[in-house]
């Protein structure tokens, strides 16, 4: 697994900064939609998945994404 060039300490700090105090279904879907809009604008071929606990509440695969991306996402949770 890659860390994108970040150290463990930097990743832990990012997790602290980005942690949401709460997340409901409406928020989760909106986050997914924002990700899709950005990916489309940037012509990125990716899969987006947003979860609340073990519940997948948003998932889409954009053109250019790979069939193995959902299993990579599942392993990274």
Tell me the two tokens of residue 8. 């463990």
Q: Quick check: is 36 in a domain?
A: yes
Structural domains in the chain (count)? 1
Q: Quick check: is 3 in a domain?
A: no
Q: Quick check: is 15 in a domain?
A: no
Distance CA 48, CA 42 (A): 14
Q: Quick check: is 8 in a domain?
A: no
Report if pTM > 0.85.
Answer: no
Q: Quick check: is 1 in a domain?
A: no
Q: Quick check: is 5 in a domain?
A: no
Domain, as residue range, for 58: 22-76
Q: Read off the pLDDT of residues 31-74 as tens digits, 9 standing for 90 and up.
A: 999 999 999 999 998 888 898 988 999 998 888 877 666 565 66
70 versus 21: the higher-pLDDT residue is 21
Distance CA 34, CA 7 (A): 27
Q: Quick check: is 35 in a domain?
A: yes
């Amino acid at each position: 697994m890659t860390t994108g060039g970040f150290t463990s300490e930097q990743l832990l700090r990012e997790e602290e900064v980005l942690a949401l105090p709460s997340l409901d279904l409406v928020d989760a879907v909106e986050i997914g939609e924002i990700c899709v809009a950005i990916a489309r604008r940037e012509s990125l071929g990716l899969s987006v998945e947003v979860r609340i606990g073990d519940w997948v509440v948003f998932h889409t695969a954009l053109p250019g994404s790979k069939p193995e991306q959902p299993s990579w996402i599942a392993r990274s949770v």
